[in-house]
Amino acid sequence: MATTGAARAATAITAVRPAPVSVTGLAFSALGTFGSLLVSTPGALEDADRILSAELQAIDLACSRFRPDSEISALNAAGGRAVPVSPLFAEAIDTALTAAAQTDGDVDPTCGQSLISLGYDRDFPEVGLDTSPLTAAPAPAAGWQTVELDRARGTARIPADVRLDLGATAKALAADRAAAQITEFTGCGVLVNLGGDIAVAGRPPTGGWRIEVVDYLPDDPRCRPARRARRQIVAIESGGLATSSTAARRWHRGGQILHHIVAPGTGRPADGCWRAVSVAAATCVDANVASTAAIIRGDWAAGWLVGLSLPARLVRHDGTILTVAGWPSDKEEAGPTWA
């Protein structure tokens, strides 16, 4: 793998300390998932919510392949022609291409047709309504090198048979962008959580931002049925934290259990040794890319993460937990959390 942006100095991750009471926030649904917004100055919440809402609307209009009026839908339907792209959509494409280059193609934005072939062709709450057998053969990714982005001219082009999907990076990018904008405008500390993609910015609360990491048990025979869901609470003061899991966004088609993390080379859901990987890094994008790639890379992901000095918590299908590169030893914690 080439030198990665995730190799920048990772955010420190520590065991939790006593939590202050000054943090306030709200929960919401957006981008097809849950979310939360927390600020260290209660009076800044209204402005923070306004900034976050605008960012989420913009990223959805740029990157949602389930909106017929989105920029990505226009690009996917362009039949191989170059189309104009907004600065935000260009940034989102560039972020996805950088992630692909950094992971030697393990996190590839040309998996759109792969996901469609697996039945992930609509907003996720609707995906599980169809349990009929799949009719399309698996579709390996076309390869991120097929995407042409000209940021100077403000255009992008993909081959006619390629479908772009930015789901692996767009949420994390939105979290990073929103957190930075909120801190710049309000001057307060902020945490943005978009479906487990977490970005923090500004001055953190005393003891850091407390984040709950939970192991969800999917309906998978490799998981010990007697093992209940476990949780760990950790704290970060800067950067981002992301969890990728094969237990989330799962659906059934014709007796097959499918999930959304696709191995680009096969077009099939990744079938490695980890059911969940959490990573702390300098940005939410870096954390998300590393955690997703680790799911796909399987056994050798732990050594790869150590080589990048990225704190990580890796959970095998039987519930065995491995922590590396400074992630605190795993134990259950009590008390309030921020995310």
145-187: pLDDT as tens digits = 999 999 999 999 999 999 999 988 999 999 999 999 999 999 9
Range of the domain at 83: 9-324
Answer yes or no: is pLDDT of 246 > 70: yes
Instruction: Kindly state the tokens that stand for 42.
Output: 């209660």
Block residue for tokens 């025979």: 221
337 part of a folded domain:
no
Name the domain count of the chain.
1
The CATH number of residue 206's host domain is: 3.10.520.10
Alpha carbon distance 247, 108 (integer Å)? 20
How far apart, in Å, are the Cα atoms of 307 and each of 7, 311, 327? Answer: 9, 10, 14
Residue 115: the pLDDT is 85
The average pLDDT across 198-209 equals: 94
4 part of a folded domain:
no
The average pLDDT across 34-49 equals: 93
150 part of a folded domain:
yes
Answer yes or no: is pLDDT of 7 > 90: no
222 part of a folded domain:
yes
Q: Which residues contact 239 (CB under 8 A, 6 or more apart)?
A: 10, 11, 199, 200, 280, 281, 282, 283, 284, 286, 287
The average pLDDT across 5-27 equals: 56
Are 210 and 338 contacting, i.e. CB atoms less than 8 angstroms apart?
Answer: yes
3 part of a folded domain:
no
Q: Give me the phi and psi of 224, to 5 degrees please.
A: -70, 115
Answer yes or no: is pLDDT of 217 > 80: no
Banded pLDDT at 219 (limits 50, 70, 90):
low
Alpha carbon distance 305, 312 (integer Å)? 7
Answer yes or no: is pLDDT of 4 > 70: no
200 part of a folded domain:
yes
Banded pLDDT at 216 (limits 50, 70, 90):
low
339 part of a folded domain:
no
Three-state secondary-structure class, residue 237:
coil
Answer yes or no: is pLDDT of 133 > 50: yes
Share above pLDDT 90 across residues of the chain, in percent, rounded to a whole number: 64
331 part of a folded domain:
no
Alpha carbon distance 188, 143 (integer Å)? 41
The average pLDDT across 202-215 equals: 90
Banded pLDDT at 3 (limits 50, 70, 90):
very low
